[in-house]
Amino acid sequence: MKVLRKTGEIVEVSFEEQEGKKAFWHTSAHVLAQAVKRLYPDTKCAIGPAILNGFYYDFEFSFPFSEENLKAVEEEMKRIVKESLSIRVYEKSKDEAIAFMENAHEVYKLELIRELEDSEKISFYKQGDYEEFCAGPHISNTCQIKAIKLLSVAGAYWRGDEKNQMLTRIYGISFPKASELEEYLHMLEEAKARDHRKLGKELELFALMEEGPGFPFYFPKGLILKNLLIDYWREIHAREGYVEIATPIMLMRGLWEKSGHWEHYRDNMYTTSIDDMDYAIKPMNCPGGMLVYKSKVHSYREFPMRVGELGIVHRAEKSGTLHGLMRARCFTQDDAHIFMREDQVLSEIQGVMRLIDEVYSKFGFPYEIELSTRPENSIGSDEDWELAINSLKAAVEGAGKSYVINEGDGAFYGPKLDFHLKDSIGRTWQCGTIQLDFQLPQRFELDYIGADGEKHRPIMLHRVVFGSIDRFMGILIEHYAGKFPFWLAPVQIKILPVSDKYLAYGKEVMEQLKARGFRVELDQRDEKLGYKIREAQLDKVPYMVILGEQEQKGKTISVRQRDEKREKQDMGQMTVEAFIGIMAITA
């Protein structure tokens, strides 16, 4: 696939590469805008970027945009693709760009151009009768788009500000092969069936209520699942030499100014006032961790110090971005901060990488690594940033792992490694992160006593494995479609008496199983056995124990397992002890 950069250079890039996808979907967004302008010339164009999966474009229509209009636009896009329009890039001065957009009556483009530096040369991409200013990259010809589909329409405020004009956002997807579009649409249908919000309600795990948008309510089964993840986290971190702390959920403004969050993250923070002083509810655990470190004098002999915190954080997300557990305003972050000497940086990064690899392997997730570099609003010196980026590169390469560069997407205080896991239907999720930070130790004046008896400044790693335990739960719900592995199932065994006559025996069996540490429910309802079995299957319980006259007389149980293949569901009669032996192997 040929990609046209804004320098005019044409390079061969695979669609699977980040630059390839971005160019392909960015061009598709321009095709969308071109189709809209052909059909509805008075429409105002705003922005149209490539996103993680596909593209969107924001428009101001002079009429209510409907499903029929969406179909017409998609058909026009297909016609444009068939025209095999070559794409070229050229530059205009700022004044020339303003004059061009004024003539085209593109008010949103004008606003963006006027904010640029006067001396800046502005790149424009042109395909047939459509051209607009854009940094690219793009593919070199529209004919490379072999399959295209417009997916949905939504409202979006201009520049995400509720005070601005509400625009119409059209989402789409495109591919270089028709078969890839078919696979993607099939995945979307599968994703709907696996939606964690739907399954969370059906399986009685959690709910999202109008009294608290973005603040999940956990039910008993959901809290069992969350606590199982926390227990697992604590187990492996204790093994790896981490200690655990807890810091306050709300701290004074001065702390957040010192950390840089008040300046760089203020819009995402909830604030309040106590005794005429400003406070912020923590959006991150790091500053509290800095205060814990500073509470005593440290020696070089204590390093590396691995300090974990399962901290509840709150972030002021816009209502339009909320999505169940995947994007919430309150969640538990599995943070840890590692304080270390410079000679320990490489081994500690690789130690975290091994831990992340172990966790993702346990859940069956393959993953890719992305190195995010210095953003525009960063703090710290060029030298510190170069050292931090090179240290992360050396750690990944030394571990024999591949990675891609994500320019300018690091945290404001340091570069990071992001771990993108792939679920059972092919979607990717960014979860684990390793951030190398030279800045907060300086801002908080952290130090330790070195072997020479002098004070030195530690280097710090921020890292998460799950990312957000709540979000990771949502990913697991969809990854397993609610059919959790035995060790993770909130209810592992459901006991189904054929009738009330066998309830007493059912309670006896339940107590035996509970005594061995299994999570068991007894269905005491006066319902037919077939109904109870169907209900247990809908609840996606791994094992069903059926009790009737024969089982009661012989002090046995009949076992059915949750399996897609009917012939494998019935495991037959056995003693409770034999069943426990089978489950011990399963667990």
Tell me if 378 sits within 8 A of 386, measured CB to CB.
no
State the Cα angle at 180 between 174 and 183, rounded to 5°: 115
What are 174's strand-pairing partners?
A: 148
Phi, psi at residue 533, to the nearest 5°?
-65, -45
Q: What is the CA radius of gyration of the chain?
A: 28
What is the CB neighbour count within 10 angstroms for residue 417?
25
315 is catalytic: yes
501 is catalytic: no
User: Per the residue annotation, which of 34, 127, 144, 333 is the catalytic one?
Assistant: 333
Angle, helices 576-586 vs 503-515, to 10°: value is 40
Angle, helices 67-82 vs 18-39, to 10°: value is 110
What tokens does 215 get?
A: 């603040």
Side chain identity at 179, as an amino acid letter?
A: S
State the Cα angle at 46 between 42 and 48, rounded to 5°: 120
CA proximity to 172, closest of 252, 53, 79: 53
CA proximity to 497, closest of 462, 533, 453, 534: 533
Query: Three-class SS of residue 536?
Result: helix
Tell me if 315 sits within 8 A of 332, measured CB to CB.
no
Q: How far apart are CA 477 and CA 13, in angstroms?
A: 35
Which run of H or E residues covers position 168?
strand 166-175
Phi, psi at residue 273, to the nearest 5°?
-130, 135
Q: How far apart are CA 556 and CA 575, in angstroms?
A: 5
User: Per the residue annotation, which of 416, 427, 532, 540 is the catalytic one?
Assistant: 416
333 is catalytic: yes
Query: Three-class SS of residue 495?
Result: strand
Between the alpha carbon of residue 53 and those of residues 18, 193, 429, the distances in Å are: 11, 19, 12
Tell me if 513 sits within 8 A of 580, measured CB to CB.
yes
Q: Residue 146, Cα to own-chain centre: how many angstroms?
A: 29
What tokens does 112 get?
A: 């963006």
User: Per the residue annotation, which of 22, 194, 374, 462 is the catalytic one?
Assistant: 462
286 is catalytic: yes
500 is catalytic: no
Query: Three-class SS of residue 288?
Result: helix
Tell me if 289 sits within 8 A of 274, measured CB to CB.
no
Q: What is the DSSP letter of 540?
A: T
Q: How far apart are CA 480 and CA 55, in angstroms?
A: 28
What tokens does 521 get?
A: 């429910």
Tell me if 179 sits within 8 A of 458, measured CB to CB.
no
User: Per the residue annotation, which of 226, 282, 315, 560 is the catalytic one?
Assistant: 315
Q: How far apart are CA 82 and CA 141, in angstroms?
A: 10
Q: Residue 438, Cα to own-chain centre: how many angstroms?
A: 26
Q: How many residues does the chain have?
A: 587
- E strands of 424-581, at which residues? 428-437, 448-449, 455-456, 459-468, 493-497, 520-522, 543-547, 557-561, 570-574
Between the alpha carbon of residue 79 and those of residues 2, 244, 312, 326, 424, the distances in Å are: 21, 60, 51, 37, 35
471 is catalytic: no
User: Per the residue annotation, which of 37, 109, 261, 337 is the catalytic one?
Assistant: 337
User: Per the residue annotation, which of 334, 335, 437, 523 is the catalytic one?
Assistant: 335
Active site positions, annotated: 286, 315, 333, 335, 337, 416, 462
